[in-house]
Chain A
């Protein structure tokens, strides 16, 4: 089952919907809010987990705006312990927005998504165009939560 935009992505009673790379492109395209925020993370990414509560809080702060938050989990599809941990974590932390798990080889995922490392936050505008790619790939230009909020505010202002 794929989550319809506005719905809560679930597979059985788990928070994460399992998807492939080809589906993922379509999923992103299916969301057309004023601003779409995609948090890319994994259970092995300590810094992803540490910053996740702020992402949940941010989603709550923007609940009255047309801003959608979704997550993409990159745990190894063979690592059921890690996947189970991620599902439990999402439930425990109240990540009540669509969460997806990519069932792909990690090396291929990084190449196809053009990522060097996670956490990464991708932010799309109302036309579905990726406008911000917030990474830690430059030691002199790493992102923080203020950068996410600034990007969201910029895109919201464009829609006003």
Chain B
């Protein structure tokens, strides 16, 4: 169902556990990803794109999900960001992809989250985006960035 990087091509894999509702820690995984990509000498423009997508995916999980795992795969050809959460799932993906549409709570909005720009930002930054979700089960997001 989803394309996986050829194991032989994998240069590096990192996984990050994302805690639901923890706004204080939110952004840590994306910051770590950014630092790692910089250390690897990846082009600054790509680092920025991956970092923004990672931040949005991470925040989506913090705001909306019951928690999940983000995984970063680096190959010589591309960087793949995978985010899998434990639910509750997205009711209408098409609507969720629309800029400005949000189901974030009042609290999240007061903190400046929930602008309805998360998924559109990820789409804009990535070269390929795959999103699948099932209500009551969870969401899987896969964003690819070509090197």
Are A and B co-members of a single complex?
Answer: no
